[in-house]
Chains A and B, each alone.
Chain A
Amino acid sequence: MSLSRKLLIFGGLALAIWGMGYGIWYAVFIEHQTLDGLGSALATGFIRAAESRMEESQAALADAGSRGFVYVRQVDAHGHWIGLGLLLLILGIAFERVAFAERTRTYLALALLTGAVAFPLGVLAETWNRGAGPQAIAVAGSALVILGLAATAWGFARKSS
């Protein structure tokens, strides 16, 4: 088996396992508490507003917004790591059909794997740092995956022509 296929198959399965492990850890230790906190913050925002305690109400709603921001990204990271891992596995199985030299296919596999790791990592990092850095990592990661997939599709098409 070629290096490019090994990279995609091992990398894809390892990434899917990592994403599943992260999901289990998240479901057991974080998710229920996060959802409880989110619901409680929203309810507090409305209850305090009904009591005309507007400052506390707005603080609670801001807290809910912040918790929602974190929750969406944690779930997204879990789903995207597994989804991209499966995609790498699938591409790895059929990668011999990509009509480029093995060296090019290896670079392509590396780009896809790097993007698949970096994109959800950047999304997750947004929960710790809301600056431009994590967003840049996520954008760069997704760009690598999109370009890699486009090149792979081109490679499939070259073979069939």
Chain B
Amino acid sequence: MVIGGIALILSGMILGDIFAAFILHPNANRIGENLLAATRAVAAHDPRVAGAAFQNIGALLENRGTKVDAHSHMIGFGYIALLLALLQPCVALSESAKKSLAKLFLFGATLLPVGVFLIHYVGLVGSPFAAIGWASVFADFGGFVAWLVCIFELAGMWKYFRAPRGTAAPDELVRDRSWSSRALLSGGTVLVFIGFLHGSYYAGMHLFSYETRDSELLSAMTTKAAAGDSAAALQAVADYGQLQGAKAVNVAAHAHVIEFGILAILLAFFQPYVFLSEKWRRIWAVTLLTGSLALPVFVLLELQWGLFAGGLADIGGLLVIVALFAMLVGVWRYTGKLDSVAGAA
């Protein structure tokens, strides 16, 4: 479960980095071009071209949305896997049942993002449903399997806490007080806190005004273009692009800083399982925290600094991926050590 969880997070992050570097910006440009074409079609009183431009926009938005969903669900399921691994001592089920549940969870947690990723490519081919394709069906099934496993885990925990027992031994994971563990725990908490504050600020100061502005700009594009005021219509399209950019960077910064904070806290618990020297554990902890702060900060700066900030944000993401991979290797070495001890016995 630990290795599966870290592997899911790592895969989700690599997918996210590839998406951000190679798909996000070209996709946004193409959406802007099609919106421009639709506005020009309104000015030229050509409803056929306007409709075609929106069909293209729909496909581009689906492409972007499914990639973002696959990325975030993979990482989210990775977090749940790590948490369930931490809670296994408190789940009153047989060892074979726990193993089966872990396999089922990883199956569902892989099926959902893979299905979501394929939605754009499979479409409605061979589907008996009006709006849902086979890729969606499999994705939903994967989510259902993972959900069912969580219910069984909750039931197992309930059984554990209902059973009478003596004083439980303190958990080794929670007792770890190494420098790397403390740095990840406090750094992660600070990251989550920053994310909450930023989210509250965005929701309070911008969310509603951006939504109002969104509608106003769409209305301006059509009314100005239909009235023959092309300059004002094109300005509305440009402003709309800026607004979408502002919304995207704020949401991405908010989500990433919290996710990285949660990841750091989780990894703090797993430091006893990272079979590396304390020096290297410190290096990877600092690398992870540095990347975790750099990515959201530079994502926010993309509006002012453009692609330069985007590149720095990608480097931040890469730092997190490298640190996470190093810790995965450490956990792998730990399980190898356990296997060799068991073999010698």
Q: Which residues of A contact B196 (CB under 8 A)?
A: 142, 145-146, 149
Q: Which residues of A contact B53 (CB under 8 A)?
A: 46
Q: Is A9 interfacial (CB-CB < 8 Å)?
A: yes
Q: Which residues of B contact A21 (CB under 8 A)?
A: 147
Chain A binding surface, main DSSP class: helix
Tell me if A24 and B42 are in contact (CB < 8 A).
no
Question: Which of under 10, 10 to 19, 20 to 34, or 35 or more describes the interface residues of A?
Answer: 35 or more
A82 to B341, CA, bound (A): 39
Q: Which residues of A contact B79 (CB under 8 A)?
A: 86
Task: Convert B41-79 into 0s and 1s, putting 1 for each residue whose CB lies closer than 8 angstroms to a CB of A.
Answer: 110111101110111011001100000000010001001
Tell me if B258 and A153 are in contact (CB < 8 A).
no
Q: Which residues of B contact A50 (CB under 8 A)?
A: 41-42, 44-47, 49-50, 226
A61-B218, A153-B189 given; A46·B38 CB < 8 A: yes
A13-B154, A69-B211, A96-B174 given; A61·B222 CB < 8 A: yes
A61-B222, A156-B185 given; A146·B47 CB < 8 A: no
Q: How distant is A136 from chain B, measured CB to nearest CB, in Å? A: 12
Task: Convert B154-172 into 0s and 1s, putting 1 for each residue whose CB lies closer than 8 angstroms to a CB of A.
Answer: 1001100100000010010
Tell me if B269 and A93 are in contact (CB < 8 A).
yes
A56 to B253, CA, bound (A): 37
Choose, from B11-19, B131-139, B299-307, the stretch at the interface: B131-139
Q: Which residues of A contact B39 (CB under 8 A)?
A: 46
Who on chain A is nearest to B79 by CB? Answer: A86
A115 to B219, CA, bound (A): 37
Chain B binding surface, main DSSP class: helix
Q: Is B186 interfacial (CB-CB < 8 Å)?
A: yes
Q: Which residues of B contact A150 (CB under 8 A)?
A: 193
A85 to B326, CA, bound (A): 28
Q: Is A32 interfacial (CB-CB < 8 Å)?
A: yes
A68 to B243, CA, bound (A): 15
Tell me if A20 and B143 are in contact (CB < 8 A).
yes
- List B residues 248-271 near A (Cβ within 8 Å): 255, 258-259, 262, 265-266, 269
Task: Convert B188-232 into 0s and 1s, putting 1 for each residue whose CB lies closer than 8 angstroms to a CB of A.
Answer: 011011001101100110000001001100110111011000000
Q: Is B314 interfacial (CB-CB < 8 Å)?
A: no
A24-B143, A149-B192, A152-B189 given; A65·B214 CB < 8 A: yes
A49 to B227, CA, bound (A): 10
A87 to B193, CA, bound (A): 11
Q: How distant is A103 from chain B, measured CB to nearest CB, in Å? A: 20
- List B residues 283-297 near A (Cβ within 8 Å): none
Tell me if B182 and A160 are in contact (CB < 8 A).
yes
A65 to B217, CA, bound (A): 11
Tell me if B222 and A153 are in contact (CB < 8 A).
no
A83 to B153, CA, bound (A): 18
Q: How distant is A141 from chain B, measured CB to nearest CB, in Å? A: 11
Q: How distant is B15 from chain A, measured CB to nearest CB, in Å? A: 18
A64 to B296, CA, bound (A): 30
Q: Which residues of B contact A23 (CB under 8 A)?
A: 143
Tell me if A24 and B41 are in contact (CB < 8 A).
no
Task: Convert A65-99 into 0s and 1s, putting 1 for each residue whose CB lies closer than 8 angstroms to a CB of B.
Answer: 10011001000000100110011011001101100
Tell me if A1 and B161 are in contact (CB < 8 A).
yes
Tell me if B83 and A86 are in contact (CB < 8 A).
yes
Tell which of A33, A49, A65, A139 touches B131, judged by Cβ atoms closer than 8 Å: A33
Tell me if A61 and B219 are in contact (CB < 8 A).
yes
Q: Is A16 interfacial (CB-CB < 8 Å)?
A: yes
Tell me if A6 and B161 are in contact (CB < 8 A).
yes
Who on chain A is nearest to B223 by CB? Answer: A54
Q: How distant is B60 from chain A, measured CB to nearest CB, in Å? A: 11
Tell me if B222 and A57 are in contact (CB < 8 A).
yes
A138 to B57, CA, bound (A): 33
21 CB < 8 A contacts A-B: A13-B153, A24-B144, A24-B147, A33-B131, A35-B62, A42-B57, A46-B51, A47-B51, A47-B54, A50-B47, A52-B45, A54-B222, A68-B214, A79-B255, A83-B259, A83-B262, A90-B265, A93-B86, A149-B193, A153-B186, A156-B189
Interface residues of A (CB under 8 A from B): 1, 6, 9-10, 13-14, 16-17, 20-21, 23-24, 27-28, 32-33, 35-36, 39, 42-43, 45-52, 54, 57-58, 61-62, 64-65, 68-69, 72, 79, 82-83, 86-87, 89-90, 93-94, 96-97, 138-139, 142, 145-146, 149-150, 152-153, 156-157, 160
